[in-house]
Structure 1
Amino acid sequence: MNPILGHADGADTAWLLVAFALVLLMTPGLALFYGGMVRSKTVLNMMMMCLAAIPVVWIIWVVFGYSAAFGPDKGGLIGDPGAYPGLRHLFGGFGDAGSPDGSSPLVQHVPAILFVAFQAGFAMVTVALIAGAVADRMKFVAWLLFAGAWITLVYIPVAHWVFAAKSLTGASSGGWIVDRLHALDFAGGTAVEVNSGASALVMALILGRRLGWPRDPMRPHNLPFVMLGAGLLWFGWFGFNAGSALAANESAALITANTLGSGAAAMVAWLLVEQLRHGKPTSFGAASGVVAGLVAITPACGSVTPLGALAVGAVAGAASSYAIELKYRWKYDDSLDVVGVHLVSGIVGTLMIGLVASGDTPTGVKGLLYGGGLDQLWRQAVAVLAVGVYAMAVTAVIAFVLDKTIGLRADPQHEADGLDDVLHAESAYDFHVDRGRGLSGLGG
């Protein structure tokens, strides 16, 4: 398939430029969110793991990743990784002389190269999400190698299944989930949330528990970081969801309202569960609830009404508030609740499309409660199951190979001392007092 040549729509391009910036902001926002959750001796390591996803993913995306995700379809399973090496044919005109009429390669009405960058932002934050499950105990070099392998072997194929619709790429066929199963996933409930959550569970199990967990308290060291990170994620999520419309139109407007509503409803639901179960609503719960609602509306944002978005958020917030405590019952150390929030809310949001999808929305599909029967619900369930099983199986293989070669887990003494100093020769907070200088030496 050759990219379609044409002239980009100015308004749509301007909106997608903004949406790309918002999506890219989500990875540093996640670094703050996760960084505040860990202990002070590993905060820099946690933030480095998140930020490292940006260069790792972009290099792979440019060389072959985008082509494998969105290139010409191969049996509904993968795109052709050799179609756009180095993003060839995705910017400017074709040939040395360029396009004589000034046209450029497009995806729908926006420049293809901008769509490439926008989708790369999805891949970056997805791999960064997994870092929350392995906090405090994974070698940084092993994490970099894992990130590169996981993006290549897990995210890219799943992204093709879910996002590479023939209507989007202009090809004769597309990914099997979107074009054959006809499951709905507007912005990544399966490709981003279920994918990362299922992989996070596997990594937590293979790495094992942190030293002292669950006996020792491992409370967040900086709750203002957590709150600020959640705010940045909410801000970025408008680009994540509404930007996926690829146009500055009514669909993007509805999706914006749905994204706001689900995050708000989930926060309220989480705090209500906290109040009923523990007697006090917490700032940590408020931040986690917002993220749960945003996760859940990601697949459903183009399929539900604003009232439906409130329902999606409320169910996700309550479900994840209960789910994060399962790790204590089942004894798996998901350090920062990636499984309880992203996997559980991703499943909730994807399945609720089959219940509360409305024909008055951009996708035009009716769920069970709107007279659509069970048809869409079973399609959603198959998509969740397929992505979850694939992600867990391939992640386990990647982790096993890395563990048997370079090793995944940090040295126990390094883990006890804190990974910031050992792995990065830095400390997030410098409490050292220079006793050799008096007040007269300040600034001198």
Structure 2
Amino acid sequence: MLSFLEFYLEMMKFVLFKLESDLARDEADRLAAEDEEGVTRANAEDFANGGALAVLDVGANGAQAKEVKEAESKRSLMGEELHKVRELFRGLTFFISREVPSRRFALVINACGGRVATDYVPSNITHVVVDRPALPPGMKKHDQLEYVQPQYIFDCLNARLMLPVTGYRIGEELPPHVSPFSVSITNSAEDNAAVEQVKKDHPRIVGYVPARVHEIRKLINPSYSAVDPEGKVAHLEGEYSDEESHVAVPEMDMEDDVSLSGDELAEARRKPAWQEEEVTEEVQRPKLSAFKVKKQREMNLMNAPTNEVVARRRQALRKAQEKSRQTETSEARLQRKMSEVKRQEAATRKMQLQVARKKAARFYKMISGVVQGTAKKAATLEAKAKHIAEGKLHKTEDGKGLVNTRLEARRQRAEAKGKKLKERKAGNPYKKLPKWVQ
């Protein structure tokens, strides 16, 4: 938690320094303009707003009027949100423990309308900010006070709402912290617009909406319902299809070019040595695929180049898809991802059903083979017993085998005549196997 806070503290230093520099520069420009024109202005910000409206009234085209109206609407929304933030901690008094950076937290608390107590007086305090698993030595716990961890302050600021202290008390496991720069926590219009702008500039840093954000939105608006409560598209947000993968990759300039070493150049220039591969089994194609290959060979289109009209049509289709993906909103993109997930789940269920059917057929074949084999063996034994009873078969001298009586008589007659009985060839056991095994 300490390293987490140090990162935000260092970041806030640069942000505050940049804001102060911009404010000083704007103030200097305003003072210089006042000296040149000789006009005193009581409120420079109100004058700037009035000047924009004056330009609109004097004579501006529709585009400029639309821009001014949009700026005014954004400014009014920003004013409303700023008023909410200024009243966030109104009426609350915080005591900051010594292990917490007091200056930064005091800045946030005072900016949000709260007060910071310098002494631990329980009668004048509502919240105690502690960054340790237990209270410091000498500090007694009181039931009327809320002992929270430092993350509670920043989460309330990001949500612009006094969140429940459950999960933020000392010794409790903190809920996941959500960055307001990558997802709209409050689901307000200005936050959604800011996230959309970030998505256009940096598409890969915009992630999915975590479950914690849905909880905060539910606290802000009880009628809120999540589009993807189970987070099924969480793993799809970072992935890109073939059509949109090249959109997320920025183009390289000359400054991004890096010289290659000698080994890398040699590896790039190396040509692969093709080796002949021997096919030891017959490739079994599906009937439809084999028919297509046969037709292509008959029409001499096996490796023919693509028709120019077809290539242009494909290129135009890809450009249209890319343009639609670039201009789609986050809701449309979420709906598209959800439909892709549903199609993938349907294909997975279909494949699982096919695999289950094949396994069931294989198991049935195995069981039926065992049953039929047992029946065949029993029938063979019964036939041998019948032939022994009829005298067609008899035991050998050692008693370990059976001899065909008729075949033995024929062999003896042939030997008496000085001839050799022609033996019958044994059956080929491989004929019972499939062709691709043969």
Length-normalised TM-score, structure 2: 0.24
Q: Which has the larger radius of gyration?
A: 2
Give the structure with the larger helix fraction.
Answer: 1
Larger RCO (CA under 8 A, 6+ residues apart) = 1
